[in-house]
Structure formats: structure tokens, C-alpha cells
Amino acid sequence: MTTETSYALTQPAYVDQSHLVVTDLPLVSGFYQSMLGLKVIEKAPSGDVLGVNGLPLLTLTTDSKAQIAPRNAAGLFHTAFLMPNRTELACWLRHAAHNNVVLDGASDHLVSEAIYLSDPEGNGIEIYADRPHEAWKFHEDGQVEMATIRLDLQALYDSAPEDAWGGMADGTAIGHIHLQVGDIPEADAFYRDVLGLTLMARYPGASFFATGGYHHHVAANIWNSRGAGARTEGMTGLSGYTLRFNDKAALDNAVAALERLEIKNDKRDGGVFLKDPWGIGLTLSA
């Protein structure tokens, strides 16, 4: 079955990989493989690269000196894995229910249906499927209508076919990354004004940014982390992520803004590496 590329990934820029530092690599890697259905693409003593159908999505590395990040530190709120369609979300839910995966919650956001959980070291995970883009409602200012209402998990579960689950389906991707930051105006100044993402929605204490009219590729909130400073080197949790540009001009604009504002960046791995105001690594690539 060929899957259509998700709307999130056809926009000028999208998140394509995330990198977590963990203390127990076999435990955490095993969880992403058995419970989320990711496959090992590369294996090294210091880390695993996991993904779907040969496409890397998540890098897990470990370091004996890694310091456990406090809950109120800046960093990851969740990595959001986008299913290619609602049926795959239902199949995953069925698999999770039969394997006693503990869920943290489930929400209907109007634009999407989302299930929340955490990995064994407390890194947040969202598994979601978007509703068709043409069904989304937009306000006059261009922001998208989003809400948080209860998701009927039973109805979703009941819609799953009876087939055996074979892991994450081809076409699964990281649809967005949601960050814990110290200050929302500062997040707006960086993600909107420096990187050129569009502010798509606001919640109390949170901003949602995207390119090309998606509901959000990057979100930032202060719900646990108000006033947080920069992460220390080698902290567990989110080390960094990649923002991939389909549109080279948008990448050039972002890099030009970094130079103009004298924001430190290095060319590496064919991209441009920098840190956001909270020390979260970010690679811009095309």
C-alpha cells in the first residue's frame, strides 16, 4: 500500500529527527522498538538510531556522565509521531492496549487526534493522526482553530482492523516537536522572528509555530518550566532536533537572520547547527 506523504512534511520546513540522551539505552531503545514499533537502523555502543522503513527518526545516545534533567528544566515536552492515517493510529492503540502500555492521556484537538504517553525515562511522546487539512478551520488572522477535548479511545480502538500489528507503518514521521521553554515572548522572538516560522495558535502559556499553514511543527510551553534557564551540557532528555527545509530559500533566510543577529552557529553534517535560547540543539538542513 502506498502512503501519501503527510501534509506536515510537504510544507516549506518540517521536523525530521529528534535526539534524546538517556541513562539506560537498552531499556529505552527496547521500549521504542516494542511499544512504538520503531526499527533499529544503526547500532553503536553509545547509541541507537531508530526509524521506519530505513528512514531515521529518533537517535538515542547514552553517556555515563549524563545528568538527569529535572522536570522543570527546558527541553522536551513531547516528540510527536505522526501516523499516515487514522487507521494506523487505531492499530497502534490496539497494540498498546494489548501490551499494557500506560497512557498519559488522549485528546481531540480538532485538527488531529492524539494519544499521550511517556518512555521509561519520562520523555513525553505523542502518537497522533491529522484530520484532513481541508476540514481545519482558520481564523481571519491566519491562526488555526485548535482545542483540547476528550478523545473517545474506545471508538478509535473499535475502528482498528483485526490484523496483527507489524510496527510503525511506512510514512510515519515526526509531525512536530513540543518543547519546554522558560519564556513565551522569548520563544516567539526566536522561532517566529529569527527562524521565520509562523505563529499558528496560542494557548495560555504556549505558542504553536509552523510553516505553510500546518497546525504546528514546533510548539513551546512554560507549563512546567516557567523561568527555566539554558540546559546544562550532557543533560538527559532532548539533546536536539532537525528542522528540514523543503524550500532552500526559507533555509537561506533563516541562516541570514542568524548571521544578522550574530547568533552563534556552525556548519556540520551538511546543515547549520545552533542552540535555541534554552540550549536545545537545532540543526537546520535542506
Domains, in order of start, for the chain: 7-16+70-284 (3.10.180.10)
Instruction: Tell me the average pLDDT across 111-123.
Output: 98
Q: Tell me what percent of the residues of the chain surpass a pLDDT of 70.
A: 99
Which string of b and e fits 66-80 if b means at least 16 CB within 10 Å?
Answer: beebeeebbbbbbbb
Return the pLDDT at 140. 96
Residue 163: pLDDT band (50, 70, 90) is: confident
For residues 18-26, average pLDDT: 97
Using alpha carbons, select from 243, 90, 82 the residue that is nearest to residue 173.
Answer: 82
pTM above 0.85, yes or no: yes
* 1 — pLDDT class (breaks 50, 70, 90): very low
Q: Strand locations in the chain, DSSP E?
A: 13-22, 39-44, 47-52, 55-62, 75-82, 105-108, 112-118, 124-130, 149-150, 173-180, 198-203, 206-210, 218-221, 237-245, 265-268, 271-275, 281-285
Per-residue pLDDT reduced to its tens digit, 234-284: 899 999 999 999 988 989 999 999 999 999 999 987 899 999 999 999 999
Q: What is the pLDDT of residue 64?
A: 86
Per-residue pLDDT, 20: 98
SS3 state at 285? strand
Question: What pairs with residue 177 in β-bridges?
Answer: 79, 218
Tell me the pLDDT tens digit for each residue of 203-223: 999 999 999 999 999 999 999
pLDDT digits (tens, 9 = 90+) for 191-204: 999 999 999 999 99
Residue whose cell numbers read 510503525: 168
The residue type found at 160 is A
Residue 126 · residue 78 · CB < 8 Å: yes
- Report the pLDDT value the prediction gives residue 3, as an integer from 0 to 100: 61
